[in-house]
């Protein structure tokens, strides 16, 4: 039997590259590591561009493919995960057109939310850029026809999630405003499922759940994305043992990378800036 790899098979240590504007993509990295524990990891955060949710669509449609192009050249990943709803809903098609590597995007979990709701009212909590995307209209029309889909954009939750991961305090008013932004809309009193449509938000799951109360379920797409990554890389070779991953941050005058200790639970062992 021939054990040699097919010519285009990735080398065992070829990494999976996770990409987000900041630390939110760690919520996708976590479940992926649980499925592929020895995979080499590069976690890239565009701190020079954070927050994406406050940027225009055209800017992101140009910025994300250009930056990912640099990162792919530098790290030669076997697969790229755009672990950011804002970048995915705006730039996924542009990235796929520009790069010759498999790309997995992050889509708001409207489909499972629509299957789960009993009241027929679901909420989508994302960045301001994500909640205004026609992509969200399309998902709602396709998977939540006949249901009410309320949307609210919360930039404060992105700041709060970044703070929490660094061990800093989260402003409780930000959490209250995010939930009230959905509940206060017409039909909001019947809300029973909230989609966390920004990868930063599951970092604040506990705080958001406490504010929403026990009758509202919070869901996100991370576990499904992890399964998709495992599926797309099935049959590929992996290192025999896990080695520490790399986190790379685009250089920002306002924001330094977090302490390595905050990233270590996600298997990250070193930090680079580009």
**Parallel, antiparallel, or unpaired: how do β-strands 121-126 and 103-104 relate?**
unpaired
Q: How far is the CB of 201 from ligand DGL (least distance, A)?
A: 8
Write the interaction track for ligand DGL spanning residues 37-76; mark x where CB under 6 A is met and - where it is not: -------------xxxx-----------------------
- Residue closer to ligand DGL, measured from CB, 127 or 148: 127
Measured CA to CA in angstroms, residue 24 lies from 1, 82, 118 at distances of 44, 11, 29
Q: Does 91 bind ligand DGL (CB under 6 A)?
A: no
Residue 132 beta carbon to ligand DGL: minimum distance, rounded to whole angstroms: 12
Instruction: Quote the least distance from Cβ 155 to ligand DGL, whole Å.
Output: 6
Residues 134-163 that bind ligand DGL (CB under 6 A): 158
- Binding residue for ligand DGL, selected from 32, 40, 117, 130, defined by CB under 6 A: 130
Q: Are 52 and 132 in contact (CB under 8 A)?
A: no
- Residue located via tokens 């997995």: 104
133 in contact with ligand DGL (CB under 6 A): no
199 is an interface residue for ligand DGL by CB under 6 A: yes
**Distance separating alpha carbons of residues 86 and 95, to the nearest angstrom:** 13
Measured CA to CA, the distance from residue 124 to residue 223 in angstroms comes to: 18
Whole-angstrom distance, CA of residue 224 vs CA of residue 221: 5
Gap between the Cα atoms of 115 and 191, Å rounded: 14
User: Footprint of ligand DGL on this chain (CB under 6 A)?
Assistant: 20-22, 24, 50-53, 84-86, 127, 130, 158, 198-200
């Amino acid at each position: 039997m021939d054990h040699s790899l097919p010519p285009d098979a990735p080398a065992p240590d070829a990494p999976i590259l996770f990409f987000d504007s900041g630390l939110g993509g760690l919520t996708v990295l976590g479940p992926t590591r649980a499925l592929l524990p020895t995979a080499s990891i590069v976690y890239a955060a565009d701190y020079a561009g954070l927050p994406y949710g406050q940027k225009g669509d055209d800017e992101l449609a140009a910025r994300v493919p250009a930056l990912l192009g640099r990162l792919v050249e530098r790290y030669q990943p076997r697969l790229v995960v755009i672990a950011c709803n804002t970048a995915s809903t705006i730039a996924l098609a542009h990235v796929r057109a520009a790069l010759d590597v498999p790309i997995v995007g992050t889509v708001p979990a409207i489909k499972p939310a629509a299957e789960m709701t009993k009241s027929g009212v679901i909420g989508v909590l994302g960045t301001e850029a994500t909640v205004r995307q026609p992509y969200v209209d399309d998902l709602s029309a396709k998977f939540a026809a006949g249901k009410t889909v309320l949307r609210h954009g919360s930039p404060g939750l992105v700041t709060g999630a970044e703070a929490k991961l660094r061990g800093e305090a989260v402003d409780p008013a930000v959490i209250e405003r995010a939930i009230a932004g959905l509940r206060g809309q017409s039909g909001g009193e019947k809300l029973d499922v909230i989609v966390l449509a920004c990868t930063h938000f599951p970092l604040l799951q506990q705080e958001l759940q406490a504010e929403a109360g026990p009758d509202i379920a919070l869901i996100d797409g991370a576990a499904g994305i992890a399964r998709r990554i495992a599926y797309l890389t099935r049959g590929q070779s992996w290192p025999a043992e896990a080695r520490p991953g790399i986190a790379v941050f685009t250089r920002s005058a306002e924001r330094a990378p977090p302490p390595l200790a905050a990233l270590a639970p996600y298997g990250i062992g070193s930090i680079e800036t580009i």
